[in-house]
Amino acid sequence: MPKSILESLPGSMHPDTGKLVIIQSGPFQAGMIQREAQGLYQMQAATGIGAQTDDISRVWRYLWLIQYKLEQAILPGDPMSDPRLAVDFCGMKFQTPLVLLSGCVGFGEEYTRIEGFSNRDAGAICLKGTTGSARPGNMPHRVYETPGGMLNAIGLQNPGVDKVVSDILPGLDFEETRFIANVSGSTLEEYEEVTRKFDDSPIDAIEINISCPNVKEGGVAFGNDPDMSARVVETCRRVTDKPLITKLSPNQTDIAYNAKRCIEAGTDALAVINTLMGMAIDIESRSPVIGNNQGGLSGPAIKPVALLKVHQVYQVAREHGIPIIGQGGVSSPEDAIEFLIAGASAVGVGTALFYDPLICNRINEGILGYLDRHDLANVAQITGSLQLNTPTPSRCGC
């Protein structure tokens, strides 16, 4: 493409290639966004949930424009085949330690439309949260960009487990990577139903989202109470032999104790952490920006919290040989390595994908460079290698 044309196009330079990636809208892109918004409005209107036809967030606009890629010049993504990146996770071989997180990659095929992206760059992909019946999701706004992060309250919009198993899973290429279902529910019975149906499917493993509100207990999130967390795990464990990964909430008093209860209830692995609850306020209207009033905060802003929680849970998990997916604000190779050192066996990547869909390649290469510099044979040798400082007796831990 002539330089004069490149200079006239709205976009930014890819950090690895120095090539232009188009991420801003023109008339054609605006038309696509409008049509998508109208389709969302029609679906929500039918269920009595209001919708707006404007694009909700700059984050989502960027993603849609990259997906439809009108003018892209980005690095082709070759599969990461270096055996040093491979990890054993609950008996499953992950070809890299990276896991694409639920809610950030749809049902596993959306990012494959982006030039240079490959599912093979991830060891596993967690599919979008799935419930017993179809859910339309929350009213807008659902997403809001914050300093160093993003608030979201999607509301578990999904077509229901039957549709996922019958229509979506058959279209996935299970030779590319591991696919993990994400089970969500409002009652123990719903968790059981969804887990049972995924058990009778080709899915590789099942992640339990215990951050859902328990409608029979006044809406208190299952994951904020150790007893209820354990009951959800026990319920799911009874109906499947597939590996169970319990996603722990940071919005609780003692995450290590909750982890212990989930391990005793039969979980095979833990994902640490889910999003932190937060709010953004429109000062002119004096109302929350998010239609649901509050949402989950993700992105680099939560990384220090996530690292501490992984370290705390690792103290419990390692005694039982339970692996951890460390997640929360990973946006660079250094971030991923920090989580491994803190005790994670695999590392989740989520929000960063919205502004850099090719980040997995960069993280994988950075981890390989770290292995070379420290003369390590594989990723497992990094896991749990944190060496704590010895604090002086006069200092508190705050």
Banded pLDDT at 36 (limits 50, 70, 90): very low
**pLDDT above 70 for 87:** yes
Please write down the long-range contacts of 114-118, taking CB distance under 8 Å and 24 or more positions apart: 114/66, 114/67, 114/69, 114/357, 114/358, 115/69, 115/72, 115/74, 115/76, 116/72, 116/74, 116/75, 116/76, 116/77, 116/357, 116/358, 116/361, 117/77, 117/357, 117/358, 118/77, 118/78, 118/79, 118/176
Given a cut of 70, whether residue 24 has pLDDT beyond it is: no
* Bridge partners for 124 per DSSP: 99, 178
pLDDT band at 293 (very low <50, low <70, confident <90, very high): very high
Q: Please, where in the chain does CATH 3.20.20.70 lie? A: 82-381
pLDDT of residue 276: 96
With beta carbons less than 8 A apart as the criterion, state whether 218 and 228 touch: no
pTM greater than 0.95: no
**Residue 391's pLDDT is what?**
82
Tokens 């996603």 belong to residue: 247
Question: What integer pLDDT is reported at residue 63 of this predicted model?
Answer: 44
Q: Residue 258: is its pLDDT beyond 70?
A: yes
Instruction: State residue 37's pLDDT score.
Output: 45
pLDDT at 65 over 90: no
pLDDT at 270: 98
pLDDT in tens, 202-235: 999 999 999 887 767 666 789 999 999 999 999 9
> CATH code for 82-381?
3.20.20.70
* Mean pLDDT taken over the chain: 85
Of 56-65, 81-90, 169-178, the poorest mean pLDDT is in 56-65
- List pLDDT tens digits, range 132-159: 999 999 999 999 999 999 999 999 999 9
Query: Could you report the per-residue pLDDT of 372-385, keeping only the tens digit for each?
Result: 999 999 999 999 99
Considering 90, 104, 126, 212, which one is annotated as catalytic?
212
pLDDT at 398 over 50: yes
- State pLDDT tens for residues 307-345: 999 999 999 999 999 999 999 999 999 999 999 999 999
Is residue 262 flagged as an active site residue? no
